[in-house]
DNA sequence: ATTGATTTCCGAACATTGTTCGACTTATAG
DNA sequence: CTATAAGTCGAACAATGTTCGGAAATCAAT
């Protein structure tokens, strides 16, 4: 019965399994010692193989990093999406803040990962225009854009969200830059000298107020943190 | 007359000279190949010394990086300050934008340097609370804070600017996060898909308008770029 | 000017890294 | 069953950061 689940050869399964193992190990090393600690030989050691054998699966270390970046984008997108779903029935003002708050929380609990996907750590590594990283970006921001569009009364989000985004990209990029800037500074310890949690909340509320968007419930921040604790499910 | 300029021993001078050379060479390597290209042996090669000899001047590569970060902060601060002085007589609305614009321009012409000082590239490297990097930060932001304070009618900026900053830190951090977020995304090629120059201008004007600050001259962006060209002086 | 104590400099070595090459074994397809 | 492809490995190469011991230069005294 080796060909029971045919169409899937044994090597194909083992290959996918090994690539998965390599990626989780790489992210483990990343969490421990930063980007510089992801080492080819260390990965080989972790999966019990010769360094030379890994070249069957990745052409070089940059290619592995690329795969890692894609998976990390997906991880962030999943975190944002889960939060959005958990607050799907909350008032509109609250739902506007869910995205930035999930974004920030994931960034603070995955600082090296956040820097990995958002700042160029390699020499000439620049995501090519039509590359897969841009689609990964849209995956992250689709939920947030949808809520903003709803709040601003944009065309029915049903079919062509992309068109609405293109039309109002100025507004969306402005909002994104706002909370991304705050989060980046926080992740890299440039706001350690103040109560950044409270400052973030005030900044977010101000951004929404300035953009004539509905205000969130006064207790939203606590509600979000409470939901975080109760969601000790997926890593 | 070897001791003419006494108080300064020959070794002292040569030491300072060599440290300077090492730093400029390190920034050269940084500009070429990114952070990972700064290599101990390469530095030794560039100054014509044995790798072992460099340990007389820096305990390890992290210590050199620290010195490099400090000098890079000073470089950014100098760029901002020069721009501020050049526009000292411009209308208040224009002067509000000079800081962010100089910040952005320097960042775009020194992308690896920008990432070096603002994102943790080393494993456990975190600027200690009372460390010298925070004072370097204030050096960068003092000119901008002064203008914002003037526009908002804060207490006489004569003696205690620090007190005014502490009082209104929320506002200042909000503004900083806004343009820093935009610049960070731009530096790392996350806004390549749009006309980021125009988007930056619109975002900045919107930020100022939202904060009830005076608007800049319509032609400010061009005026700034024009000044840049005429300032082909210091690197 | 001579001495004695630092500072500077270097060659050699060690452990580690990414990557390549050729030979060997194993799985897949016809 | 067999030929082709995929996987695995050991050995080797060049390059890296860092340490150590000793030689040379410079400094601060007498």
A110 and A157 inside one domain: yes
Q: Is residue A129 part of a domain?
A: yes
**Cα–Cα distance for residue pair B64/A206, rounded to 1 Å:** 41
B37 and B131 inside one domain: no
B151 and B223 inside one domain: yes
Look at chain B and report how many structural domains it folds into: 2
Per-residue pLDDT for B42 more than 50? yes
Q: What would the mean pLDDT of A20-46 be, rounded to a whole number?
A: 95
Q: Is residue B4 part of a domain?
A: no
Q: Is residue B235 part of a domain?
A: no
Give the per-residue pLDDT at B4: 38
What's the Å distance between residue A73 CA and nucleotide D11 C1'? 39
Rg of chain B, C-alpha, whole Å:
20
On the CB side of B166, CA atoms within 13 Å amount to 5
| Domain CATH for A35 | 1.10.10
Q: Is residue B204 part of a domain?
A: yes
Tokens of A85: 């779903």
A52 and A148 inside one domain: no
Q: Which residues are CB-contacts of A173 (< 8 A; sequence separation ≥ 6)?
A: B182, B191, B194, B199, B203
B127 and B185 inside one domain: yes
Q: What would the mean pLDDT of A58-73 be, rounded to a whole number?
A: 94
Cα angle: A62, vertex A66, A70; to 5 degrees: 165
CA B99 to chain CA centroid, nearest Å: 11
- Closest among A172, A174, A224, A171 to A197, alpha carbons compared: A224
Cross-chain residue pair B177–A190, CB shorter than 8 Å: no
**Cα–Cα distance for residue pair A106/A100, rounded to 1 Å:** 10
Give the per-residue pLDDT at B203: 95
A206 and A223 inside one domain: yes
A73 and A117 inside one domain: yes
pLDDT digits 0-9 by tens, B178-212: 999 999 999 999 999 899 999 999 999 999 999 99
Q: Which of A166, A170, A190 to mutate to test the interface with B (most CBs of B within 10 A)?
A: A190
B110 and B205 inside one domain: yes
Q: Which band of pLDDT confidence, cut at 50, 70 and 90, is reported for residue B121?
A: confident
Which residues on chain B are in Cβ contact (under 8 Å) with A206? 174
Q: If you measure CA to CA, which chain A residue comes closest to B114?
A: A119
Q: Is residue A159 part of a domain?
A: yes
> What range does the domain containing B36 cover?
9-58
Per-residue pLDDT for A7 more than 90? no
pLDDT digits 0-9 by tens, A115-125: 999 998 875 55
Per-residue pLDDT for B91 more than 80? yes
Cross-chain residue pair B111–A118, CB shorter than 8 Å: no
A199 and A167 inside one domain: yes
Q: Which residues are CB-contacts of B94 (< 8 A; sequence separation ≥ 6)?
A: B87, B216, B217, B220, B223
pLDDT digits 0-9 by tens, B57-82: 999 999 999 999 999 999 999 999 99
B108 and B213 inside one domain: yes
Give the per-residue pLDDT at A77: 96
**Cα–Cα distance for residue pair A58/B32, rounded to 1 Å:** 26
CB contact burial A44-59 (16+ within 10 A = b; e otherwise): bebeeeeeeebeeebe
Tokens of B50: 């044995």
Which of strand D's nucleotides are less than 7 A from any protein C-beta? 6-12, 15-21, 26-28
Q: In this structure, are residues B49 and B25 in contact, taking their beta carbons and an 8 Å threshold?
A: no
Give the per-residue pLDDT at A148: 95
């Amino acid at each position: 019965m080796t060909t029971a689940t045919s169409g899937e050869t044994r090597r194909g399964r083992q290959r996918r399994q090994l690539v998965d193992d390599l990626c989780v190990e790489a992210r483990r090393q990343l969490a421990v010692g930063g980007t510089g600690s992801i080492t080819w030989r260390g990965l080989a050691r972790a999966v019990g193989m010769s360094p030379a054998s890994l070249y069957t699966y990745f052409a070089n270390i940059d290619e592995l990093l690329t795969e890692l970046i894609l998976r990390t984008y997906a991880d962030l997108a999943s975190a944002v999406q889960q939060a959005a779903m958990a607050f799907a029935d909350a008032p509109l003002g609250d739902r506007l803040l869910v995205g930035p708050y999930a974004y920030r929380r994931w960034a603070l609990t995955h600082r090296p990962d956040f820097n990995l996907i958002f700042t160029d750590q390699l020499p000439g590594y620049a995501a090519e225009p039509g590359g897969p990283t841009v689609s990964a970006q849209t995956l992250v921001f689709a939920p947030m854009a949808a809520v903003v569009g709803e709040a601003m009364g944009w065309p029915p989000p049903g079919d062509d969200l992309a068109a609405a985004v293109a039309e109002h990209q100025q507004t969306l990029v402005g909002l994104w830059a706002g909370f991304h800037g705050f989060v980046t500074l926080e992740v890299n310890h440039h706001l350690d000298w103040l109560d950044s949690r409270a400052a973030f909340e005030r900044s977010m509320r101000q951004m929404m107020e300035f953009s004539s968007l509905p205000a969130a419930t006064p207790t939203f921040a606590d509600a979000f943190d409470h939901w975080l604790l109760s969601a000790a499910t997926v890593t």
